[in-house]
Structure 1
Amino acid sequence: MTITITAFERSPDRGRGLARDMRVRWALEEAGQPYEVRLVSFKTMKEPAHLALHPFGQIPTYEEGDLTLFESGAIVLHIAERHAGLLPADANARARAVTWMFAALNTVEPPIFERSLATILERDEPWYEQRLRALGDSIRKRLDSLSARLGDADWLDGAFSAGDLLMVTVLLRAQASGLLEEYPNLAAYVARGEARPAYQRAFAAQLAVFTAAAAG
């Protein structure tokens, strides 16, 4: 059965690999699974056909036969559970990898994403600088703990897993703030993720969409 995912027709990340379909593309590349992409506009995302796939009108979605999924973390977990390469065989190690998936999305990402939104939506507000400082402090608390836990290891828990895949995509968004530069081991960790061939293929595919849209 053909796997089809949705992605932005014109991504607001301007081809930097930050849109959440990147996580799904990367997971499918790591798993060696072919897939097709249906590009959607912001208008299309709010229409009934897309809302039937994603009730919140966002991307990505995942379709395979009679299965439809939304939420990038849930999609990556589905891929990891059904194909080799993203979760360890050992039950305990597998559970730890899933824990890191949740940690990436529920603990580390929220203040990083909030800060990126603030730089867009609150730049002209009188509280903007104070807001950035507060969010920066929240991000540093998370990165302090993550950096200490990672130490000098290559990956979070032994071999590369879906936990690392999601964590790297989360940390990529922190690069624009400059905060990641304060943690050399985390910056090196992200660079290792970006160097993986599967990541490179996924990034090239997503960038090609932006390039084509910009040319058009």
Structure 2
Amino acid sequence: MSGLPTITTFRWVPEFARGYVRDLRARWAFEEEGQAYAVDLIDGPYAKSAAHRHFQPFGQIPTYRDDEVEIFESGAIAIRIAEQGSHLLPTDTNGRLRAIQWVIAALNSVEPMVMQHAVVTLFEADCPWSPMRHDRVVADIKSRLADLEAALGDKPWLDGETFTVGDLMMISVLGGLRETDLLADFPKLTDFVARGEARPAHVKAMADHLAVYADAKAA
């Protein structure tokens, strides 16, 4: 590789979004793998430009590029980083695919419910339909969290003793509930998230993620 793998993220986001922007997932994967990386900071107008949409058709972040690929979507990016390293994906076929299945489960089976909660409590909280939807949204997410906690059981990580990219993605998704009390009834999931967020790689990734906005404020 002639240069560092590079991700894009926003140079500024509102305060409520800091700590949640999805470049954090790529940063965490890089840190777990001990892989240096570069960051291109972009603004909102550029994200919607033809130049950016050439790589990210929905005008979002992060994107990723290295000497071989240019891709988007945080799950695909995390898997690519894991494949280039040696810590986040088991080498046996079954273990590798189990880790990937948890990436997909996090994004497909859990995150949509987390986002629905954000919609009714934050983004559309002042809309007349949000109070009517709130109780159902909470009930649905708690049902899904109960399923997830049952699958985790007493294991430290989703597939047993080894932390994988599947755990990274699931903990990142559950981190979207950080400012709520929705995990309070699920002590095993609460501990699972705490274990993940206490990992040195996550601590470093979060610090670097937040530093972007501190630097923007200072500038």
- Specify if TM > 0.5: yes
Quote the residue 1:4 is aligned against. 6
Quote the residue 2:128 is aligned against. 126
- Confirm whether residue 75 of structure 1 aligns to residue 80 of structure 2: no
Task: Kindly state the Cα deviation for residue 32 of structure 1 after the two structures are TM-superposed.
Answer: 1.1
Rounded Cα–Cα distance in structure 1 between residues aligned with 2:117 and 2:14: 16
Counterpart code for 2:20? L
What runs of 5+ residues in structure 1 fail to find an aligned partner?
none
Asked if the contact 1:101/1:162 (under 8 Å) is kept, the reply is: yes
Q: Please, which of 149, 166, 191 is the counterpart of residue 147 of structure 1? A: 149
- Confirm whether residue 178 of structure 1 aligns to residue 172 of structure 2: no
Rounded Cα–Cα distance in structure 1 between residues aligned with 2:52 and 2:16: 23
Task: Kindly state the Cα deviation for residue 13 of structure 1 after the two structures are TM-superposed.
Answer: 5.4
Please show how residues 41-190 of structure 1 align to structure 2 within 5 Å. Answer: 41-158=43-160, 159-190=162-193
TM-score after normalising by structure 2:
0.94
Rounded Cα–Cα distance in structure 2 between residues aligned with 1:39 and 1:161: 28
Task: Kindly state the Cα deviation for residue 87 of structure 1 after the two structures are TM-superposed.
Answer: 0.8
SS of alignment partner, residue 38 of structure 1: strand
Aligned-residue Cα RMSD (Å) equals 1.4
Rounded Cα–Cα distance in structure 1 between residues aligned with 2:18 and 2:108: 22
Q: 1:213 to 1:117 in 2, by over 3 A?
A: farther
- Confirm whether residue 35 of structure 1 aligns to residue 37 of structure 2: yes
Query: 1:166-198 deviations in whole A, cap 9, x for unaligned?
Result: 000000001222101121111111110111111
Query: 1:101-135 deviations in whole A, cap 9, x for unaligned?
Result: 11000001101012112323321222222212111
Rounded Cα–Cα distance in structure 2 between residues aligned with 1:117 and 1:214: 27
Q: After TM superposition, which residue ranges in structure 1, 4 or more long, deviate above 6 angstroms?
A: none
SS of alignment partner, residue 154 of structure 1: coil
Task: Kindly state the Cα deviation for residue 17 of structure 1 after the two structures are TM-superposed.
Answer: 2.1
Rounded Cα–Cα distance in structure 2 between residues aligned with 1:100 and 1:150: 11
Q: Please, which of 187, 191, 195 is the counterpart of residue 192 of structure 1? A: 195
Asked if the contact 1:175/1:181 (under 8 Å) is kept, the reply is: no
Q: 1:66 to 1:111 in 2, by over 3 A?
A: same
Query: 1:22-52 deviations in whole A, cap 9, x for unaligned?
Result: 0001011111111111111111101122111
Rounded Cα–Cα distance in structure 2 between residues aligned with 1:47 and 1:22: 23
Counterpart code for 1:192? R
- Confirm whether residue 204 of structure 1 aligns to residue 215 of structure 2: no
TM-score after normalising by structure 1:
0.95
Rounded Cα–Cα distance in structure 1 between residues aligned with 2:180 and 2:119: 12
